Amino acid sequence: MFWLRDISITRKLTTIVVATSAAALLMAGAATIIYERVTFPKSLAQHLASLADVVGNNSAAAILFNDETAAAESLQALKATPNIMMAQVYRKDGGVLASYVRVGEPMATLSAAKTGISQETIAAEYVDIFRPIFVGAERVGGIGLRSDLTEVKVRLGAYAQTWLAVLFVSLLGALGVAAVLQRVVSLPILNLAGIARRISNEHDYSQRAVKETGDEIGALVDGFNEMLSQIEARDGALTQAQGELEKRVRDLQQEVAERQRAEKGLAEKAVELERSNAELQQFAYVASHDLQEPLRMVSIYTQLLAKRYGPKLDGAALEFIGYAVDGVKRMRLLIRDLLEYSRVGNRGKFLAMTDCNAVFDLTLNNLEAVIEESHARITRDPLPVIMADDVQLGQLFQNLISNAIKYRDSKPPEIHVGCKQEESHWLFWVRDNGIGIDPQYAERIFIIFQRLHGKGEYPGSGIGLAICKKIVERHGGKIWVESELGKGSTFYFTLPATAGS
């Protein structure tokens, strides 16, 4: 029955109807044939009995006169009935008077002949009949017939053929009727299935199935429509929720994009800043370098003017020339310092292992003249070996030491350079006994061209400490000063320590 499951409901219904009809017809046919099979041999036996009585009466005289020939002739009449297999006429005592045998059949004596009582025996392949023969009321002998069942078989075959034809025609009729009638059931179901498919394809849950019948299918349509209403309501809610979710996702994406834009903007600004810094340094270098050329012209021609025409000019003219010469000198100094300052970032060497002791001692050699002139006494702790640009490190020491000598008071300068390791860096200090710095200016002195004293008191452009700061920062350190007016100053700076130093 499994094959029934997957075929269409139309075929299912048709098949059921046709199969039902076929089953009914089969059972009716089978009943008829069985009935015929059972009853026909009996009617055949009755017919044979009549035949036997007729032939027996014809043979009665032959029995009385014991005339075998006449009895045999009477039996010969049975030739006209081809299904008679064998016949015998018996005397009163049961002895055989005459026999008839259809060609090719064996001879047999019926057992009833001795009793003389009428008897019929229905076997599988034949029917035997024994009838006594009477003359008046006296029994004179008997007759026995054996008939085959050919007639029964022929008749049953005809029955079967007829029945098969009826079955075929009936089934065709049933098929036609079923094909029409099954629609009553299948059409509403197919309609329902069609709507269900359309809804699932179009996702339009507002469609409804039309209820056409008041039966279970109608109830199914109602249930289906009710289910659709619920789905429609849920779908609406789901769509709304999905819309909200999508909006939140969009908001989030927008937020992320904005954040990324902001980060990108920051990164771009950092790159831009680095670039503009590098450009500024390049600009400072080029500008100060190129500025020197016209300045040299001004300077040298002013000097030539003074030299060649000095004697012909009055005091005021010479004074004016003096200011011009002085201005040009200061300008040259400033430009030279600016150039030097820009070089710290622009022209620095790579950092390499540097022995601070050697650098420091070289610095003292450079400052020999100033040290001698000022009678300065300079001492130092043992200094470490660190990663540094040795030229810039020398410049750092030189600027700090020469400052310490320059800003001295009446007593000879005493300068000590100290050093100790602190965690990841070395702390250096340069301590002097000079004029000191008002703490409020402690930060200002590191700004380029910032000076605390008039040019008459202490010469210089105010670049030295700015360069020191730039050098220390380039090395990844910090620089600061601790001081009080009249009590000397201590300049501190840090430089990163390297492993193993």
Partner 1 sequence: MNTEQYRRLRILHVEDNIGDVRLIAEAIRETGRDHEIAVAFDGVEALDYLHRRGHYADAWRPELILLDLNLPKKGGIEVLAEINADKELRQIPVVVLTSSSAPQDINRAYALNANRYITKPADLSELFNVVGELEKYWTDGATLTPRRGV
Burial of 456 (0-12, 13-18, 19+ CB in 10 A): exposed
CB of 285 to partner 1, least distance (A): 11
Q: SS3 string of 116-142?
A: CCCEEEECCCEEEEEEEEEECCEEEEE
Q: Are 470 and 345 in contact (CB under 8 A)?
A: yes
Does position 293 interact with partner 1 (CB under 8 A)? The reply is yes
269 binds partner 1 (CB under 8 A): no
End-to-end CA distance of the chain: 95
Could you say whether residue 461 binds partner 1 (CB under 8 A)?
no
Q: How far is the CB of 424 from partner 1 (least distance, A)?
A: 36
Site for partner 1 contains 208 (CB under 8 A): no
Q: How far is the CB of 337 from partner 1 (least distance, A)?
A: 15
- Interface with partner 1, residue 286, by CB under 8 A: no
- Tell the residue number behind the tokens 């771009």, with chain if given: 268
CB 284 to partner 1: min, Å: 16
Here the tokens at position 165 are 């034809």
Query: Please, which residue, 7 or 297, has the CB nearer to partner 1?
Result: 297
489-to-5, 28, 367, 375, 428 alpha-carbon distances in Å: 106, 135, 20, 18, 14
**Helix (H), strand (E), coil (C) string for 143-156:** EEEEEECHHHHHHH
Segment interacting with partner 1 (CB under 8 A) among 231-239, 268-276, 303-311, 356-364 = 303-311
Answer for which of 245, 297, 358, 447 binds partner 1 (CB under 8 A) is 297
In three-state secondary structure terms, 202 is helix
Nearest to partner 1 of 29, 348 (CB atom): 348
Stretch that binds partner 1, among 10-18, 189-197, 277-285, 295-303 (CB under 8 A): 295-303
83 touches partner 1 by CB under 8 A:
no
* Nearest residue to 345 via CA among 290, 396, 271, 282: 282
With binding defined as CB under 8 A, does residue 374 bind partner 1?
A: no
Provide the residue type at 388 as one letter. A
Exactly one of 107, 172, 300, 485 binds partner 1 (CB under 8 A); which one? 300
- Using the rule CB under 8 A, is 375 a contact of partner 1? no
Cα(462)–Cα(452) distance, rounded to whole angstroms? Answer: 9
In the list 139, 198, 296, 453, the residue contacting partner 1 (rule: CB under 8 A) is: 296
Please select the residue that binds partner 1; options are 301, 309, 320, 449, rule is CB under 8 A.
301
Nearer to partner 1, 307 or 411 (CB): 307
Shortest spacing between CB 307 and partner 1, in angstroms: 6
Select from 1, 5, 6, 307 the one that contacts partner 1 (CB under 8 A). 307
| Distant-in-sequence contacts of 178-184, Cβ < 8 A, 24+ apart | 178/13, 178/14, 178/16, 178/17, 178/18, 179/14, 181/17, 182/10, 182/13, 182/14, 182/17, 183/10
Single residue of 299, 395, 433, 494 touching partner 1 by CB under 8 A: 299
Q: Which DSSP state fits 200?
A: H
Rounded to the nearest whole angstrom, what is the least distance from the CB of residue 295 to partner 1 in the complex?
Answer: 7
- State which of residues 32, 57, 292, 346 lies at the interface with partner 1 (CB under 8 A): 292
Tokens 């602190």 locate to 422
Nearer to partner 1, 35 or 301 (CB): 301
Which parts of 310-349 interact with partner 1 (CB under 8 A)? Answer: 332
Told to check if 114 binds partner 1 by CB under 8 A, we report: no
Stretch that binds partner 1, among 3-11, 296-304, 370-378, 477-485 (CB under 8 A): 296-304
Spatial separation of the C-alpha atoms in residues 289 and 154, rounded to whole Å: 139
Strands 377-380 and 414-422: parallel
Task: Provide the binding-site residues for partner 1, judged by CB under 8 A.
Answer: 292-293, 295-297, 299-301, 303-304, 307, 332
